[in-house]
């Protein structure tokens, strides 16, 4: 009800603040280059956007953080989703469309200054590397998750899952365990292979969305059947390398071929999964509440005990539950791919605000499944065991399995398998989007740092595109190549700096930096650097902290944009301050309490933490200086009527 009321009454308020209008042309329509800018029907864009932002975030975060009690977790998800997360997503999407399909870094340069652009660019590359590292490890964890066959209330030798023998740590007796992740991994491979067909049919042949949805459901069902007969059996490292190879190739291909199409197929699993969770929870409530009715259930408030184990509830819980409440990564999706597909400006509200509310609803369902399906001891055994690494993926699967058993009378194994299918596909979906976004960031960096050299200068001086939109040649910088904006008088009439001629290896090197596969390769290399040596448990806290920092900075940029357009700012400024204080506190706590004492083993995380903090303080300083000087107009441009 809270989420519904937020969408019904608060979303229109934010729409009026932002000045949304249906008659403005969007970058997707004006540019329409067939690769990155593709005008697409809103349901398809919503599917892509929701699949990209949902991923594992609204599942893993609540699973890890519910140790503080389900009351604080639900309160943060609901209030954060309505007043912070959905506002952040809507504003980021709308402003990216208004600024010509440009992403957060370019908007920061326009409204805060060139220094903010460079600092935010570095911060975003660091954040995306953390996102990819965490989700890559989670994907491998899901693939190899095992649980005792007896826990699933099945007999050894059952036909649904592949089994392995595991010695009991106390008795030494070998017990039969089911590998419940291989089926979902096979499903991912099949869905990915079928994605180009869906993209061809709905974009090139213009099939109706409902017909494509029916085909997508058929593909999902077929992929599960194939997974049941041929579950993946590769090692975690092999799976990580396979996924890395796929996203390396996908990041340089047209957006409709894999990214948009696979998201469209996968989101049907998510839609069906949410309906399944709701039905199981309602049925469990009618039949007595499951574990919630027992004294040993996960408590309403476990703040003190959890603070002793995971750290103080503030700020830890607020950064562990990121995507379910507010997530900076969503602004990258909004400004990186989503804004380049919207055919109507008013669709930004439906995709941005409502997409975040649906993600918060998913997080609420996850919390409810845990409190219905697991006892506190059972939850801690899976997620926070003493002395060993926990498995949040398995925790979620078992919570769903027991909830479906209590509510719908289904076998625990069936519910657990459904949870794995729900999670594994969206881990890869988020990786797919994040690597492409990292490619965008890297391209913008090269165009900025080497813009004076002849190779990049020539690429920037190609003829204008459709509707006056400026297009680049050679290297199409997807993040910056948006609609032409009115240039400031001083900039437009200033002689450009002399072009530096290049020769030999230097020229060859700069040309290599213009290649899609090189930039995709750098993105994948950064992911592997952080992901191969650190588990998701190690990466998740710094990922959550830097993710919330990015949300604060995105809201700060939105606030500057609103100031320049003479619009109310409190709707974005107050969330900005709260998230800045919370996430900076957490980053400093991690740096002083974990990373510096663990040097050199924690070198990569230490350097990442320091870089993120330094860039954050630099951007805040530039924004405050520009604000104090009354220079919020974009580089001297007259303020346009909104």
- How high is the mean pLDDT of the chain? 82
pLDDT value at residue 493: 42
pLDDT value at residue 641: 37
Output b/e per residue, 552-566; b: 16+ Cβ within 10 A: bbbbbbbbbbbbbbe
pLDDT value at residue 427: 80
In tens, the pLDDT along 564-608 reads 888 999 999 999 999 999 999 999 999 999 899 988 888 888 988
Position 20 in a domain: no
Q: What contacts 356, CB < 8 A, 6 or more positions away? A: 53, 81, 85, 86, 88, 89, 90, 330
pLDDT value at residue 184: 86
> Distance between CA atoms of 190 and 230, rounded to whole angstroms?
11
pLDDT value at residue 291: 59
* Angle formed at CA 41 by CA 39 and CA 42, multiple of 5 degrees: 110
Position 13 in a domain: no
> Distance between CA atoms of 415 and 101, rounded to whole angstroms?
41
Position 620 in a domain: yes
- Name the residue range of residue 286's domain: 32-145+180-447+518-636
CATH of the domain at 58: 1.20.1740.10
Cis status of the peptide bond prior to 315, with omega within 30 of 0: yes
Number of domains in the chain: 1
Position 456 in a domain: no
Position 171 in a domain: no
Position 510 in a domain: no
> Distance between CA atoms of 540 and 308, rounded to whole angstroms?
18
Position 582 in a domain: yes
Position 282 in a domain: yes
Residues in a beta bridge with 162? 179
pTM of the model: 0.81
pLDDT lower than 50: segments of the chain:
462-494, 636-642
> Distance between CA atoms of 135 and 139, rounded to whole angstroms?
6
């Amino acid at each position: 009800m809270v989420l519904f009321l937020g969408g019904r009454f608060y979303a229109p308020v934010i729409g009026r603040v932002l000045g949304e209008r249906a008659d403005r042309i969007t970058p997707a329509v004006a540019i329409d280059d067939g690769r990155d800018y593709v005008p697409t029907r809103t349901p398809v864009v919503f599917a892509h956007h929701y699949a990209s932002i949902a991923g594992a975030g609204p599942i893993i975060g609540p699973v890890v953080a519910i140790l503080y009690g389900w009351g604080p977790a639900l309160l943060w998800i609901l209030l954060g989703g309505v007043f912070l997360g959905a506002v952040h997503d809507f504003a980021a999407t709308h402003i990216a469309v208004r600024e010509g399909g440009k992403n957060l870094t370019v908007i920061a340069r326009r409204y805060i200054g060139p220094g903010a652009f460079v600092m935010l660019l570095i911060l975003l590359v660091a954040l995306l590397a953390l996102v990819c590292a965490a989700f890559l490890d989670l994907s491998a964890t899901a693939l190899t998750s095992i649980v005792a066959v007896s826990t699933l209330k099945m007999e050894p030798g059952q036909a649904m899952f592949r089994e392995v023998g595991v010695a009991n740590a106390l008795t030494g007796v070998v017990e039969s365990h089911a590998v419940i992740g291989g089926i979902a991994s096979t499903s991912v491979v099949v869905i990915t292979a079928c994605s180009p067909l869906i993209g061809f049919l709905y974009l090139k042949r213009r099939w109706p969305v409902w017909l494509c949805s029916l085909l997508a459901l058929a593909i999902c069902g077929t992929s599960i059947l194939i997974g049941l007969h041929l579950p993946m059996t590769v090692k975690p490292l092999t799976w990580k390398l396979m996924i890395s190879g796929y996203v390396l190739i996908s990041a340089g291909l047209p957006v409709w071929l894999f990214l948009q199409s696979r998201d469209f197929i996968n989101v049907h699993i998510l839609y069906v999964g949410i309906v399944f969770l709701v039905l199981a929870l309602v049925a469990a409530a009618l039949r007595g509440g499951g574990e919630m009715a027992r004294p040993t259930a996960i408590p309403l408030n476990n703040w003190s005990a959890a603070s002793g184990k995971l750290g103080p509830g503030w700020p830890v819980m607020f950064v562990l539950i990121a995507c379910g409440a507010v997530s900076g990564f969503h602004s990258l999706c909004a400004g990186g791919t989503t804004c380049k597909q919207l055919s109507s400006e008013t669709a930004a509200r439906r995709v941005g605000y409502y997409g975040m509310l649906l993600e918060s609803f998913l997080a609420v369902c996850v919390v409810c499944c845990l409190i219905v399906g697991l006892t506190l001891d059972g939850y801690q055994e899976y997620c926070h065991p003493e002395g060993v690494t926990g498995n949040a993926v398995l925790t979620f699967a078992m919570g769903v399995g027991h909830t479906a058993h209590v509510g719908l009378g289904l076998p625990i194994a069936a519910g657990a398998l459904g949870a794995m299918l729900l999670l594994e596909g969206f881990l890869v979906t988020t990786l797919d989007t994040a690597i492409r976004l990292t490619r965008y960031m890297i391209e913008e960096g090269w165009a900025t740092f080497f813009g004076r050299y002849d190779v990049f200068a020539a690429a920037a001086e190609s003829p204008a595109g459709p509707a006056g939109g400026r297009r680049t040649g050679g290297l199409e910088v997807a993040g910056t190549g948006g609609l032409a904006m009115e240039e400031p008088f001083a900039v437009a009439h200033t002689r450009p700096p002399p072009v530096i001629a290049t020769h030999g290896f230097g020229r060859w090197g700069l040309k290599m930096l213009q290649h899609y596969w090189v930039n995709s390769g750098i993105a994948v290399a950064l992911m592997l650097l952080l992901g191969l040596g650190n588990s998701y448990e190690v990466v998740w806290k710094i990922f959550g902290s830097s993710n919330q920092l990015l949300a604060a900075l995105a809201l700060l940029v939105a606030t500057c944009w609103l100031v320049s357009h003479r619009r109310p700012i409190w709707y974005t400024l107050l969330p900005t301050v709260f998230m800045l204080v919370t996430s900076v506190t957490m980053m400093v706590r991690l740096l002083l309490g974990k990373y510096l004492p663990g040097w050199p083993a924690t070198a990569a995380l230490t350097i990442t933490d320091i870089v993120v903090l330094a860039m954050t303080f630099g951007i805040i300083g530039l924004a405050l200086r520009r604000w104090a000087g009354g220079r919020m107009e974009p580089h001297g441009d007259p303020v346009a009527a909104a």
